[in-house]
Structure 1
Amino acid sequence: MGNLAAVTTASWRAAGESHDAELAAGCLADDVRVISPLTARFRFEGREQARDMLVAAFAVIDVIRYHTELGDESARALFFHGRCRGQEFEEAQLLRFDGEGRIVELTLFGRPLPGLTAVMAAIGPVLLKRQGRPVAARFIGAATAPLALMTRAGDKRIVPLAAPDRTDPRAKQTPERKE
């Protein structure tokens, strides 16, 4: 099976970098489970739900460039740099394979938070519109936009305050004690 997993992985990578949802869906087992980095409330179950998620993801993620691959014939970890709405992010994908070399489980992990929330704010409305739920799409878009804005602003203005090499100009030097 090692060769089958390698062939599937190569196709999966090519599909991601070319934003080809049909090629990506062809790498999936019929009963695939996709575990999102954005919620533990539900999973995408089956090839059709996963394909719809991939179509939405490829519609909002501007760039996908894989840089690292680790694993064997039963599981592989892939890592890529991406961009969504101008926000850079990195995603790790854990792929588990069935006996035919198809992806039976896909677990996604993302960082940093501004990039992850940009994906969340963008993908939800696209996915809901594809499902024929335009009111829910508008609601999710309105609900997630402030979170994406806050994480972008916080990453630029607040998080740097905690940088380990930052010195606080307000800190006073403690005078040496004379004994």
Structure 2
Amino acid sequence: MGNPTITAWRAAGENGDAAAAAACLAPAVEMISPLTAQFRFHGPDQVAQVLASAFEVIRDIRYHTEVGADDTWALFYHGMARREPVEEAQLLRLDADGLIREITFFGRPLPALTEVMAGIGPRLLRRQHQPGLARLVGLATAPLNAMTRLGERTILPRADPARSRRPRP
């Protein structure tokens, strides 16, 4: 039988329910972002704001793998960020009460990550009553997002090792 916190966390993610996800968090929770090493989010209120913003950007979350025991779990899901398929890994560490005390996110592919970054940042900043900074972050992330999408669709396919190549004479 699975862990009740992990089961509730998965259901919250698949339902896009930030409040239900927040109920799984320990009072001293820390969230480590996959998008920046500049800061971390601390406490259920900050983490819930990030989750609410994320659930507005990432949809159709379906967990496909769960591994772990005791106080350490890893979950993996597929979802969509606008038109970009995203896969995320979550490393969850539980406290003595069985609540999530640490969350580390890892995501791929790069176009999906930049889509998530471009979507979550401005939403989170608006929740924090910083609309000017939200606009600035939106403007700053748009070129990176566009470049990664373009590279993924037009440049990287040319480097695919499975692509047939004509031998040189």
TM-score between both structures, scaled by the size of structure 1: 0.91
Match of 2:53 in 1: 56
Q: Which of 145, 151, 168 lines up with 1:154 in the alignment? A: 151
| Larger Rg computed on CA atoms | 1
SS in 2 for 1:158: helix
Q: CA RMSD in A?
A: 1.2
Residue 23, structure 1, aligned to residue 20, structure 2: yes
Q: Which of 76, 99, 103 lines up with 2:73 in the alignment? A: 76
Q: 1: CA distance between counterparts of 2:19 and 2:59?
A: 17
Letter of the 2:67 counterpart = L
Q: 2: CA distance between counterparts of 1:10 and 1:24?
A: 10
Match of 1:40 in 2: 37
Match of 1:172 in 2: 168
Q: 1: CA distance between counterparts of 2:138 and 2:50?
A: 16
Give the share of equivalent positions with the same residue, in percent. Answer: 54
Structure 1, unpaired ranges of 5+: 174-179
Match of 1:6 in 2: 3
SS in 1 for 2:51: helix
Question: How far is the alpha carbon of 1:86 from its aligned partner?
Answer: 1.0
Question: How far is the alpha carbon of 1:30 from its aligned partner?
Answer: 0.6
SS in 1 for 2:63: strand
Question: How far is the alpha carbon of 1:73 from its aligned partner?
Answer: 1.1
Q: 2: CA distance between counterparts of 1:63 and 1:139?
A: 28
Query: Would you say how many aligned residue pairs link Structure 1 and Structure 2?
Result: 169
Residue 141, structure 1, aligned to residue 138, structure 2: yes
Letter of the 1:172 counterpart = R
Match of 1:177 in 2: none
Question: Deviations for 1:7-62, whole angstroms, at most 9, x for unmatched residues?
Answer: 00000000000011111000000110100100000000111100110111111112
Q: 1: CA distance between counterparts of 2:73 and 2:159?
A: 34
Deviating beyond 6 angstroms after TM superposition, the runs of 4 or more aligned structure 1 residues are none
Letter of the 1:158 counterpart = I
SS in 1 for 2:98: coil
Question: How far is the alpha carbon of 1:77 from its aligned partner?
Answer: 0.3
Letter of the 2:54 counterpart = A
